Structure 1
Amino acid sequence: MQRRHLLLTALVAAPLAGLPLTAGAQAWPTRPIKLVVPFAPGGTTDIVARTVAEKIGASLGQTVVVENKAGGGGIIGADAVAKSAPDGYTLSMATVSTTAANPAINPKIPYNTITDFVPIINIAATPNVIAVHPSFPARNYKDFVAVLKKSPGRYSFASSGTGTIQHLQMELFKSLTGAFVTHIPYRGAGPALNDTVAGQVQMMFDNLPSSLPFIKDNRLIPIVVSAPQRLAVLPDVPTFKEVGLEPVNRMAYYGLLAPKGTPQAVVDKIHAATKAALEDADVRKRIEATGSLIVGNTPEQFAAQIKAEFEVYKKVVVQQKLALD
């Protein structure tokens, strides 16, 4: 009789034990959500995050607060999110740097890019550009390469940090062309861009959205872009594929990640809110005006994209024998 009583008690308690989780997922969110940008303000990651944050918050009924947490080429901010409670209240802006390039080159990275996050959505794909300060003695790709080869080590390039996509793509460019340029890493694209515009560094491999305003003002000169085809905003600038460097012709991505263990119901809500934000005409206009392409894929598609990109950069690191300084 006692055994039967215990069994009945367990059967009754089992569904009740699940109710708080279900109710919690249904009620979520009940407080503001933090969206961590793992780079300093002013870069493309920051631009995309702030463009969608307000609309995502409006759909969810809570404020989405953008927090910049720079350092380590994006590692510090990404790791902070990986170690956060999996409750949907702390999200990360995912970039190629934090999910593929940096993990590929840094064996001591404190998180596993494949297993420590739940991919939610890829918001946008963004072209990259090599741009130089107007004082640089070249205005086109052919002359650019000739100048670098003539004076190896004389010029420097800025990046958003060691191991970022800007760093690895420029290193790949160097290895394929035989040019030598000194790497100057910064704590984000914003500070790197500021010093390039100021002429303290001669060039930068940057995401187009953050550099484009300075290109339009003739404060930076675009040399070559990574994009499927020439861009409407830069019709006279060739792609890396056009100049014979197809391996470098890779676009950046900007998406959302949550810590592993985040309930699927919460992930679905964030995904739906982000999709709604990307359907807003003003948001689309602001993102597309930077030269970026709206993506808005599924969590499964974004997970496959991250894995594929990681494999590409891992291969680059091995083939080009790249290592952290």
Structure 2
Amino acid sequence: MLRRRDLLASAIGVCLAPTLSRAQDDWPQRPISLVVPFSAGGSADLVARMFAQYFQAKYGVSVVIDNKGGAGGSIGSGFVAKAAPDGYTLGLGTVSTHAINPALYAKLPFDVETDFEPISPLVRLPNLLVVNNKVPVKTVSELVAYLKANDGKLNYGSGGNGTSGHLSTVMFMKALGVTMTHIPYRGTSEEATALINGTIDLAIDSMTTIWPFASAGQIRPLAVTTPARVAAAPDLPTIGETVSGFEAVGWQGLFAPARTPRPIVETLAAEVKRIFLQPDLVAALQKVGGEPMPMSPGEFARFAQSERVKWGSVVREAGIRIE
């Protein structure tokens, strides 16, 4: 026999069901906050604004970009994890925040496995190996020789501890058997500024953000991190052409707080697919090496899990841990 509190809970559920159903059917009815866990001007910020522009045009509601940088993206991601699961707070997640950080940080303000609803990846992004214009090298092989001749004397930047750029450079150093000093910034845009003014010697980071500075001659591009060359810069070699087997590709995706209603999650996933297959957006991404990669929520969940396995292994092998 049902206890009194069980009967009460059941009655409340029955009463609320029509209200919840209407709320889901009417979504969205007010502005949506899209949290980007990095500073404005970086690749994550750029991709988020692309999504916001097309979503707003269809639904007539604002998508407000909320940049909450810090701790390798963990501060902003933690905010999303604790937000109300009503479809009005979303998060831009990356390979760093949802695949690398769980292995990198001793303690996170969220559980990456249970505190989020994966919606869909947005884009796959190559990283770009660049040096500032004062570093006397023009090819990867020249850089390899220069690093070995000056082992421990150079520094490199990243958009934050544990980001894809940070660990990609760790992988690069390990492959060459050299060391450099790491200087983390609060985002890729700050890192790019440091490259331009000569504060840091080298970086491997998102081509989406770095390429405009490289193509303008403000910094020197040497190679991409993808297995094959990219359409945006077909004459630029891959690192793997010189350093056999090297590959490091970033991605960005859309997440909601856990327990966000399934109809909202499915609607968002369909919108990601619609938006990121728009010909003009695809062309814009290709100019900076990006490639759309929409998936269903279930496919994205499995992909993110496989990425955690892959990058967790890199973190442990490198012996990096942030307390």
Q: TM-score, normalised by structure 1?
A: 0.92
Q: Distance in 1 between matches of 2:37 and 2:87?
A: 17
AA partner of residue 120 (structure 2): I
* Counterpart residue number, 2:305: 307
Shift of 1:63: 1.0
Give the direction of change, closer, same or farther, for the CA distance of 1:20–1:179 in structure 2 (3 Å limit).
Answer: same
Moved more, 275-284 or 99-108: 275-284
Give the direction of change, closer, same or farther, for the CA distance of 1:9–1:67 in structure 2 (3 Å limit).
Answer: closer
Moved more, 82-91 or 270-279: 270-279
* Alpha carbons 1:59, 1:273 under 8 Å: kept: no
Shift of 1:194: 0.9
AA partner of residue 101 (structure 1): I
| Paired residues for 1:1-325 under 5 Å | 15-246=14-245, 248-324=246-322
* Stretches of structure 2 lacking an aligned partner (at least 5 in a row): none
Moved more, 275-284 or 68-77: 275-284
Shift of 1:182: 0.6
Shift of 1:96: 0.5
User: Structure 1, residues 67-126: CA drift from partner, whole Å, max 9, x if none?
Assistant: 111111111111111111111111111101101112221121221222211010111100
AA partner of residue 95 (structure 2): V
* Alpha carbons 1:52, 1:283 under 8 Å: kept: no
Moved more, 228-237 or 87-96: 228-237
Moved more, 9-18 or 83-92: 9-18
* Alpha carbons 2:277, 2:292 under 8 Å: kept: no
AA partner of residue 278 (structure 1): F
* Alpha carbons 2:225, 2:249 under 8 Å: kept: yes
User: Structure 1, residues 279-305: CA drift from partner, whole Å, max 9, x if none?
Assistant: 323222222221101111111111111
* Alpha carbons 1:56, 1:276 under 8 Å: kept: no
AA partner of residue 119 (structure 1): P
AA partner of residue 293 (structure 1): E
* Alpha carbons 2:39, 2:68 under 8 Å: kept: yes
What SS does the aligned partner of 1:241 have? Answer: helix
Q: Distance in 2 between matches of 1:281 and 1:209?
A: 18
Shift of 1:263: 0.4
Moved more, 143-152 or 228-237: 228-237
What is the CA RMSD across the aligned residues, in angstroms? 2.1
Give the direction of change, closer, same or farther, for the CA distance of 1:22–1:243 in structure 2 (3 Å limit).
Answer: same
Provide the identity percentage. 35
Q: Distance in 2 between matches of 1:11 and 1:166?
A: 50
Shift of 1:10: 9.8
Shift of 1:12: 8.2
Q: Distance in 2 between matches of 1:9 and 1:82?
A: 29
User: Structure 1, residues 20-54: CA drift from partner, whole Å, max 9, x if none?
Assistant: 11111001111100111111111111111111211
Q: How many residues are matched?
A: 319
